[in-house]
Homo-oligomer: A and B are copies of this chain.
Amino acid sequence: MATTTAPGTASRQNADAEARNAREDVRTRQLLDAAARLMQQTGSHQVSMKAIADEAGVSVGLIYRYYDSKEALVRAVIIGVLDEMAYNIPRAIEPVEDPVRKVAAAFTAYAEVIRDNRRATLLTYRETASLDRESQDLIKNLEMQTGQPMLQATQGAIEAGLFRRMNARVFSYDLLLIAHSWALKFWYFSERMSFEDFVSTQLSIALYGALLPEYHDTYADLLAGPQPPADKQ
């Protein structure tokens, strides 16, 4: 982001500005992390600004230098969580070529991010409703953006004639939701299967719903679902 600057007086100001920006970034991160950590446990309403300040090791007053209000901070926390997801998911997909395996990779990547941010995911479900319209719209956009890779992979598989013609938007949205369900219904799934089994079970179900029967053999490994542990002989 920061461009290279020529040395001299002008750069002096630049350097200062950069230093300030850097410090502000650190502060911002520090505050968001502290807030997220606390809110994930009990929701934003149970967490006071004082508690966040303490957790971040700063004073209450300082928070207001970076965020106008508690709501602004809550918004930033949620958007931060979604942002990170929107950033991490595409990174996890790219290398795969085969359209169907691309869908599978996207789902796996998405699910893993959810797994790693389980409580943060729940936070977005719980807290979004208490934000103002504008923030909610922003969040919806982020969510759609996050779902973009999955949608493109699905459309790719359809165009490649591997998936049947169907509503790609709905199908990919379902996949995202099902990935979320690891967080939403963690109490249910985590007692019944490992995360890996969850992913392969869900993938199997979903791909059966999309793959044309003539390709069932080609992707038999994905359709098979969780396998018993390999023979240890």
Stretch in contact with the other chain, from A12-20, A21-29, A99-107, A199-207: A199-207
Interface size on A, residues (CB 8 A): 40
For residue A208, which residue of chain B has the nearest CB?
B209
Stretch in contact with the other chain, from A87-95, A109-117, A125-133: A125-133
* Contact in complex: A130, B173 (CB < 8 Å): no
Contacts A166-B201, A166-B208 known; list 19 others, CB within 8 Å.
A43-B130, A45-B45, A46-B130, A125-B126, A126-B126, A140-B187, A164-B208, A166-B225, A167-B225, A170-B198, A170-B202, A173-B188, A177-B181, A205-B210, A206-B209, A207-B209, A208-B208, A208-B210, A213-B213
Binding site for B on A (CB under 8 A): 42-43, 45-46, 122, 125-126, 129-130, 140, 144, 164, 166-167, 169-171, 173-174, 177-178, 181, 184-185, 187-189, 192, 198, 201-202, 204-210, 213, 225
A130: chain B residues at CB < 8 Å are 42-43, 45-46
A144: chain B residues at CB < 8 Å are 188
Q: Which 5 pairs from chain A and chain B are nearest by CB?
A: A209-B209, A208-B209, A45-B45, A213-B213, A205-B209
A171: chain B residues at CB < 8 Å are 205
* Contact in complex: A42, B129 (CB < 8 Å): yes
For residue A177, which residue of chain B has the nearest CB?
B181
Copy tally for this chain in the complex stands at: 4
Give Cα distance in the complex from A91 to B205, angstroms: 28
27 A-B contacts (beta carbon < 8 Å): A42-B129, A45-B130, A46-B130, A125-B126, A140-B188, A166-B201, A166-B204, A166-B205, A166-B225, A167-B201, A167-B205, A169-B192, A170-B189, A170-B198, A170-B201, A170-B202, A170-B205, A173-B181, A173-B185, A174-B181, A174-B205, A177-B177, A177-B184, A205-B210, A208-B209, A209-B209, A213-B213
Give Cα distance in the complex from A202 to B177, angstroms: 13
A185: chain B residues at CB < 8 Å are 173, 177
